[in-house]
A and B are shown apart, each in its own frame.
Chain A
Amino acid sequence: GAVVSQHPSWVICKSGTSVKIECRSLDFQATTMFWYRQFPKQSLMLMATSNEGSKATYEQGVEKDKFLINHASLTLSTLTVTSAHPEDSSFYICSANLNWEKLFFGSGTQLSVL
C-alpha cells in the first residue's frame, strides 16, 4: 500500500539551531502534503499545506519565517524549524494525498529543543 516516510523520527537540538524534517511519498506522487503539530495529549493542528512547485499555505497564527516549507518535487516536502526554541518542542507529522479518500501519514518526528 501507499507509504509516507518521515525522517528523522526524533531529534534533539540546541536552542537557536535549525532542524529539517523530511516527508516523502514512497510509491505515489503527491502534489499536496500537509504538516501538522501535536502537543502531548492533544489533537493534531494543521500548520500548513505544502504545494509542489509553489509557496506553502500557512494556517493562521503559524509563523512562515519560523517554519519553512519546501516542496521541491512530487515526492518530497521538507519542514525546517528555524532558530528553534524550547517552545517549538513538539511532535510534527506530515501527510500526503493518494486521492480524496486516501490520506496517509508519516510516522512523525518528536522534536526536543534544549
Chain B
Amino acid sequence: GESVGLHLPTLSVQEGDNSIINCAYSNSASDYFIWYKQESGKGPQFIIDIRSNMDKRQGQRVTVLLNKTVKHLSLQIAATQPGDSAVYFCAENSGGSNYKLTFGKGTLLTVNP
C-alpha cells in the first residue's frame, strides 16, 4: 500500500491499551473539528466530530476532547485493536460558512499484538 505516514509523529501501543492522539489547531475562530482515520492505500475515513460549543463527545470506543483555551484537540481510543493501526489526523473548519477544512499532518498509530 501507499506510504502516507513518512516523517509523521508516531505512537506505538500494545493491543488492549488506551491510545491518546493529540492535535493542536491554530485558528481560534474554528468552530468545527473532525478526526479522520487513514489506513494504508485508502482514503481518509470519518471517525468523529465535535463543535466548538462542546468540550467532549463520545462514540463507539472513541472520545474526542476539545480544549479551546489552549486550542487543543485529542482523540482517545479505548481498548486499542490491531485494526486501529493507521494514520489519524484532525481537521478544523476555520469558522464562517465556507465549509473548507484545514487538515493536520497526522499521527501514525501502530498497535502491537
Real binding pair: no
- A interface list, Cβ under 8 A from B: none
